[in-house]
Amino acid sequence: MKYFLWLLKAAIFFTLFAFALNNQQDATVHFFFGTSWTAPLVLVVLAAFALGLIVGVLGMVPRWLKHRNAARSTQATVPAAAETPAAATAPKAAPSPILPGDVHGI
């Protein structure tokens, strides 16, 4: 599986690299008031992707903060109400160690 993931990463890299090599022509982006930006097409696409990523993250921040505050307030109230004398004396189980093969991702 590890080799398959490396092969997938290499395929994605070479596909994007070929895309960049095939799109080196100049593209002109026209802004307001007669201003324009001329750059290779691959940079224009990369800039549009980065701008979309930034707008998406900034649009997500208010909801993320709301959920974070709700989780923090819930966490603060639950342990005090749920703890009983029997639960306070019970030994806690040790967390299982994370092995190198347990973490997955591209």
Q: 59-85, pLDDT tens digit by residue?
A: 999 999 999 998 888 887 876 555 555
Name the average pLDDT for the chain.
81
Q: With a cut of 80, say whether residue 99 has pLDDT above it.
A: no
Question: Count of CB atoms within 10 A of residue 23's CB?
Answer: 14
Domain boundaries, the chain: 11-76
The single residue listed with the structure tokens 């160690």 is 97
Q: What pLDDT, on a 0 to 100 scale, did the predictor assign at position 63?
A: 92
